[in-house]
A = this chain, B = another copy of it.
Amino acid sequence: MRSHSAQAVTRLALAGLHTSLDSPVSESMNFLNEIALRFPDAISLAAGRPYEGFFDVDAVYRYVETFRAHLMADTGDETLVNRTLLQYGRTKGIIHELIAEHLRVDEDITADPESIVVTVGCQEALYLTLRALRRDDRDAVLAVVPSYVGVHGAAQLADMPLLPVKDAAEGIDLDDLAAVVRDARAAGLRPRALYVIPDFANPSGTSLTEETRRRLLDAAADHAILVLEDNPYGMFGPDPGTGEDTGAPTMKALDRAGRVVYLGSFAKTGIPGARVGYAVAEQLVDRGGDGPDETLADQLAKIKSMLTVNTSPISQAVIGGKLLENGYSLRSANTRERKIYQDNLAHVLDGLAARFPAHRAPHVSWNAPAGGFFVLLTVPFTADDELLEHSAREHRVLWTPVHHFYADARPRNQIRLSFSHLSLQEIDDGLDRLADLVHERTKKVTDDDQARPGTTAQ
């Protein structure tokens, strides 16, 4: 038996490691994860996780069996089926045809299965795409901000500057997009793509109208950039065809110029623990006469082969089976969850109205998305990490300061509320606690104002 007591330690300097590791983004992700762990009994209006009430491990086995039966029916060869499920496999994945069918059924998207790369969650699809589009220091990605923390992270990790484009009531400020592209080019940069969540964006909840989507596609063609369409929440709006249905088609479905790379997630509609997502990348890649044409998907697959080799076929079988059992429709597979998300959203909006009546202090306002996982709240004070820490400790409620979605440290007076994983009672309790914090904080602001000579409390 060897002794392990003489073990010495090697020290590395953070300043010598990848730049993403000392960026605000990395600190953000770390802080947000860590505070939830430190206050486990706080109600979380912060976590954007799917509802867990219907989680069922037995269904996982059934899904794999369903997919296995599908493979057996296809091939009649048990050895081949076992190899497909358990051996190293196709880099682009094994459920690409089922995903293409799902996109047709649920999103009216026509996609060549060969242009689909199945990935380890949507995050890998995003990283593969950014890495592919990054040739050198000049390449940049654009994003409507505030935006998903993960796009800031992926861009940092890909060594790609992320140029913020202004949000607007319609979801994106197209004039600002033009200005950002123009300024970037003038500065010697190459804007390659715009990242956008057109449906119930994270964190704003905003959706782009069909008209805005078409104008954005035209702008992308004019600016010679791609559109990276991330669509994790599109299914969680009002029922299509109902009077409340405000859903526009996906940008991929509207795309006539081949500008869209579609980033798909099964984390909210399938099973988060499968960690399966995908990219649809039909763009052609010019290899300078060197062999036959390839697609951008082919390039993403090559990068994936150096990164994760292939996505677990067992995980893919879980999602594949769920697609097969539901006629390829995740919209119908999520009937119960969709109702919960819509009910929770309504409960949050009603609950905010009841706790913060209009035209009365404290002056709190919020937007009213038609679906998705998030509501954006504007408060009359700065909502930073310090306040979140206080909120977690003293009020036992968590929420997300919006500055994390700008990837800078500048505190702002907005917070993101999420509700997807909560019961109605938890929403009530969470909003009560949040209201206590807001009242306490507003009183403090007012007291501070009164204490300051020469000012008058408004």
Interface residues of A (CB under 8 A from B): 1-2, 4, 6-21, 25-26, 29-30, 33, 49-50, 52, 55-57, 60-61, 64, 68, 79, 81-83, 85-89, 91, 108, 110, 120-121, 123-124, 127, 131-135, 150, 153-154, 156-157, 159, 190, 226, 249, 253, 255-259, 267, 271-276, 282-288, 290, 296, 299, 302-303, 305-315, 318
Contact = CB atoms under 8 A, between A and B. Distances in A.
Contacts of A157: 131, 303, 306-307
22 contacts: A2-B253, A7-B255, A10-B257, A10-B283, A16-B135, A17-B135, A18-B131, A18-B132, A18-B133, A19-B135, A21-B132, A52-B83, A55-B83, A60-B86, A85-B273, A120-B120, A121-B308, A121-B309, A123-B308, A153-B306, A275-B309, A315-B315
A177 to B, nearest CB: 18
Given A8-B258, A273-B86, A302-B26, A17 B285 contact: yes
Nearest to A53: B79
How many copies, total? 2
A253 B4 CA distance: 9
A87 B52 contact: yes
A9 B283 contact: yes
A263 to B, nearest CB: 14
Nearest to A136: B19
Given A7-B258, A110-B4, A21 B57 contact: no
A137 to B, nearest CB: 10
A56 B29 contact: no
B11 A283 contact: yes
Nearest to A9: B258
A57 B64 contact: yes
A49 B84 CA distance: 13
A288 B314 CA distance: 43
A153 B12 CA distance: 25
Contacts of A83: 52, 55
B306 A127 contact: yes
Q: Which of A11, A21, A156, A313 has the most CB of B within 10 A?
A: A21
Contacts of A18: 131-135, 299, 303
Nearest to A267: B88
Contacts of A88: 49, 267, 272-273
Contacts of A253: 2
A407 to B, nearest CB: 12
Given A286-B12, A288-B15, A306-B156, A311 B273 contact: no
Given A8-B256, A21-B299, 18 more contacts: A10-B283, A11-B283, A14-B290, A16-B190, A26-B306, A50-B87, A52-B83, A52-B86, A57-B85, A60-B64, A60-B86, A61-B61, A87-B273, A157-B307, A275-B309, A275-B315, A312-B315, A315-B315
